[in-house]
Amino acid sequence: MSTYAQKKGVGAVIWDYLTTVDHKKIAILYLIAGGFFFILGGLEAMVIRIQLAIPDNNFVSAGFYNEVLTMHGTTMIFLAAMPLLFAFMNAIVPLQIGARDVAFPFLNSLGFWLFFFGGVFLNLSWFLGGAPDAGWTSYASLSLASEGHGIDFYALGLQISGAGTLIAGINFLVTIINMRAPGMTYMRMPLFTWTTFVASALILFAFPALTVGLFFMMFDRLFGSNFFDHTMGGNTVIWEHLFWIFGHPEVYILVLPAFGIFSDIISTFSRKRLFGYSSMVFATVLIGFLGFMVWAHHMFTTGLGPIANAIFAVATMAIAVPTGIKIFNWLFTMWGGSIKFTTPMMYAVAFVPSFVAGGVTGVMLAVAAADYQYHDTYFVVAHFHYVIIGGVVLSLLAGTHYYWPKMFGTMLDEFLGKITFWLFLIGFHLTFFIQHFLGLMGMPRRIFTFLPNQGLEIGNLVSTIGAFFMAVAVIVLLWNIVITSVKNVKVGNDPWGDGRTLEWAISSPPPFYNFKQLPLVRGLDAYWIEKMEGKKEMTPAEPLGDIHMPNSSFIPFMISLGLFIAAFGAMYRVDYAWGLPVLVVGMAITLLSMLVRSIKDDHGFHIHKEDLIDDKDKGGKA
């Protein structure tokens, strides 16, 4: 038993998580916080669907409906989907590249706490006078007219959590470039690592546009500026541009890591090398690049003119090409493989056609002239749910089952897993397939009710029934998590038996330093290569030596808390005298915490190699 594995009290555990800089623990924090927001967003979705179950319903009022709708979208994109992906990136990517840690453990923790406080701030709007109500896109002409502080909660909350996202992106970029184990060349990196890399680059170049847009919105609403006020010379279309210059790359920030998770799962359970590895990498990079060229396809009806619309339409359709390459590569990986239908694999198999359906409607929407008909109808709602649920959410559910043993050392129940899968898949198609037709029949999106006798009743009722299927699926998943944790049956390094990449070569969960000796990587699917040669573990690339590890720190929490406080000050400054001092105090907490970080030396600590040798029972040998 090593000194590092003592049993701790509850207080010590909480303190440990508040100060941790270990990417595996930060992953768990992201999973819990992201999971919480996912459930919250899901409840909001249920409210929407109950309201729309029957015509002329008055389950909620029109105003409240707008708030629920806005918070559903905002929460799902910023506070659920992205953080849940970060959970898996944090848990798995450093292991996949054979690293002991990420490049910036301190910033990694800061990124989490900024996201967390931003999300909490945004959701406190429910209790403090009303949530934002101008849609997740918060178009300026609407949002400037919105009363109360809802939109301010949106602008400030997303500003704080966006800063966290940016930091996380930089951290992954540098980690993947600088921390790869010996032999782990770029073209040997697993696809999840590659897609994390490209998604992080997108974060880096997309989020600052949102930052600027949010600043303008905050200045206009709280500090009297006139960016979007046309009576003062402003222009509301600037917000639309900035939002979508961020917004379209954002959808690829979400879906690329999902592609990565599925690529790994499909090759693992087809027990075959990924078909067309290099073209997969190429397609990922190309999608990332093109993702910046197409933002105005969200603005076809804004009136940019036929030339701009034509250019953006063609650029948009071009993205379907690399996406198609990927689809075929997944199919060819399965072709001739000896497929094992585990829960993650079932999600992967279901993902391919579901996502293709979303891609097809995407190309339909990209036809600018036709989009004048589709725009702002349920057809668009169906499109983006097919790509986001059919792509991102299915990957998150697949990843939860697939990586659970690596993160927690226990295996989720396969039977319950399959029940979740079927309920969710059926519910998903039931809810959203029919919305294509509702949209084509003219049902507008973002409207709190619809009229009887327009042929919309059955479609909406079916859609609501589907939503309940998905809700039950999530409850089964939660139940599965509870009983798995109670049973607490520990598993070995490679619980699926078919692991190909480095994360499966070390114990589950890995020791906090991940690899006792850094592994030597001899090709794509490094662990699989060793297994094929009859070895049980990786060949070490270095002799046993001392390991350098970073110190825990409470400063990230304090920096984020300061901004959280300052945001209240900035917002209430317009109503109350105490706003300004609160703003100043909050900023002071943040800046002083940063100063402390800057002037207090932090050299980390060393684990001595003698301690590592006794550490046999914890595995962790490369």
Partner 1 sequence: MHAEEKMTNETWPASPEKATLEAKNKFLGFWFFLGGETVLFASLFATYLALKDKVPTGDHYLAKDLFEMPLVFLMTMLLLTSSLTSVYAMYHMKNFAFKKMQLWLGITVLLGLTFLGLEIYEFNHYVHEYNHTFTSSAFGSAFYTLVGFHGAHVAFGLLWIISLMIRNAKRGLSLYNAPKFYVASLYWHFIDVVWVFIFTVVYLMGMVG
Q: Which does 232 bind (CB under 5 to 8 A by kind): ligand HEM, Cu ion, partner 1, none?
A: partner 1
CB of 215 to partner 1, least distance (A): 7
Residue carrying structure tokens 């989907």 = 81
Residue 212 host element (H or E) = helix 191-222
Residue with Cβ nearer ligand HEM (102 or 258) = 258
Q: Please tell me the count of residues contacting ligand HEM according to CB under 6 A.
A: 25
Residue with Cβ nearer ligand HEM (124 or 363) = 363
Asked if 197 contacts 224 with a C-beta cutoff of 8 angstroms, the reply is no
CB of 307 to partner 1, least distance (A): 18
Binding mask 220-249 toward partner 1 (x if CB under 8 A, else -) reads x--xxxxx-x-xxxxx--x--xx--x----
Binding mask 238-257 toward ligand HEM (x if CB under 6 A, else -) reads -------------x--xx--
CB of 65 to ligand HEM, least distance (A): 16
Among 15, 17, 59, 219, binds partner 1 (CB under 8 A): 219
**Non-local CB neighbours of 89 within 8 Å, separated by 6+ positions:** 27, 172, 192, 196, 257
**Non-local CB neighbours of 314 within 8 Å, separated by 6+ positions:** none
Residue with Cβ nearer partner 1 (36 or 139) = 139
Binding mask 512-541 toward ligand HEM (x if CB under 6 A, else -) reads ------------------------------
Q: Please tell me the count of residues contacting partner 1 according to CB under 8 A.
A: 44
Integer Cα distance of 459 and 434 in angstroms: 6
Task: Return the HEC string of 243-297.
Answer: HHHHHHHHHHHHHHHHHHHHHHHHHHHHCCCCCCHHHHHHHHHHHHHHCCCCHHH
Nearest residue to Cu ion, using CB?
A: 248
Among 216, 450, 469, 557, binds partner 1 (CB under 8 A): 216
Among 176, 388, 434, 547, binds ligand HEM (CB under 6 A): 388
**Which is it for strands 605-607 and 547-549: parallel, antiparallel or unpaired?**
antiparallel
Looking at residue 460, its amino acid is N
CB of 370 to ligand HEM, least distance (A): 9
Integer Cα distance of 479 and 487 in angstroms: 12
Asked if 593 contacts 555 with a C-beta cutoff of 8 angstroms, the reply is yes
Among 297, 401, 500, 621, binds ligand HEM (CB under 6 A): 297
Among 18, 50, 212, 585, binds partner 1 (CB under 8 A): 212
**Non-local CB neighbours of 103 within 8 Å, separated by 6+ positions:** 171, 174, 175, 178, 179
Residue with Cβ nearer ligand HEM (169 or 247) = 247
CB of 553 to partner 1, least distance (A): 15
Q: Is 320 in the site for ligand HEM (CB under 6 A)?
A: yes
Task: Return the HEC string of 459-470.
Answer: HHHHHHHHHHHH
CB of 98 to partner 1, least distance (A): 14
Residue with Cβ nearer ligand HEM (188 or 436) = 436
Q: Is 374 in the site for ligand HEM (CB under 6 A)?
A: yes
CB of 242 to partner 1, least distance (A): 6
Strand, helix or coil for residue 228: coil
Q: Which of residues 62-121 bind partner 1 (CB under 8 A)?
A: 103-104, 107
Could you count the other beta carbons within 10 Å of the beta carbon of residue 306?
10
Among 359, 405, 556, 620, binds ligand HEM (CB under 6 A): 359
Asked if 535 contacts 518 with a C-beta cutoff of 8 angstroms, the reply is no
Residue with Cβ nearer partner 1 (16 or 546) = 546
**Non-local CB neighbours of 526 within 8 Å, separated by 6+ positions:** 98, 183, 184, 188, 501, 502, 505, 519, 538
Strand, helix or coil for residue 133: coil
Q: Which of 391, 365, 369 is nearest to 378 (CA)?
A: 365
**Non-local CB neighbours of 372 within 8 Å, separated by 6+ positions:** 300, 301
Among 208, 276, 337, 545, binds partner 1 (CB under 8 A): 208
Q: Is 392 in the site for ligand HEM (CB under 6 A)?
A: yes
Q: Which of 300, 427, 414, 279 is nearest to 367 (CA)?
A: 300
Residue with Cβ nearer ligand HEM (21 or 251) = 251
Q: What would the two tokens of residue 29 be?
A: 């924090």
Residue with Cβ nearer ligand HEM (364 or 544) = 364
Integer Cα distance of 168 and 562 in angstroms: 19
Q: Which of residues 88-147 bind ligand HEM (CB under 6 A)?
A: 137
Looking at residue 265, its amino acid is I
Q: Is 479 in the site for ligand HEM (CB under 6 A)?
A: no
CB of 198 to Cu ion, least distance (A): 17
Q: Which of 247, 235, 236 is nearest to 162 (CA)?
A: 247
Q: Which of 124, 204, 191, 200 is nearest to 157 (CA)?
A: 124
**Non-local CB neighbours of 415 within 8 Å, separated by 6+ positions:** none
Compute the half-sphere exposure of residue 320: CA atoms within 13 Å on the CB side of its CA. 16
Residue with Cβ nearer partner 1 (291 or 322) = 291
The contact set with Cu ion (CB under 5 A) reads 248
Q: Which does 374 bind (CB under 5 to 8 A by kind): Cu ion, partner 1, ligand HEM, none?
A: ligand HEM
Q: Is 64 in the site for ligand HEM (CB under 6 A)?
A: no
Binding mask 401-430 toward ligand HEM (x if CB under 6 A, else -) reads ------------------------------
Strand, helix or coil for residue 540: strand
Alpha-carbon distance values, 136 to 94, 464, 548 (Å):
33, 21, 44
Residue 478 host element (H or E) = helix 457-487
Backbone angles phi, psi at 329, to 5 degrees: -65, -40
Binding mask 144-183 toward partner 1 (x if CB under 8 A, else -) reads ----------------------x---xx-xx--xxx----
Contacts with ligand HEM by CB under 6 A lie at 137, 251, 254-255, 297-298, 316, 319-320, 323, 359, 362-363, 365-366, 371, 374-375, 380, 383-384, 387-388, 391-392
Contacts with partner 1 by CB under 8 A lie at 103-104, 107, 166, 170-171, 173-174, 177-179, 204-209, 211-213, 215-216, 219-220, 223-227, 229, 231-235, 238, 241-242, 245, 595, 598-599, 601, 603
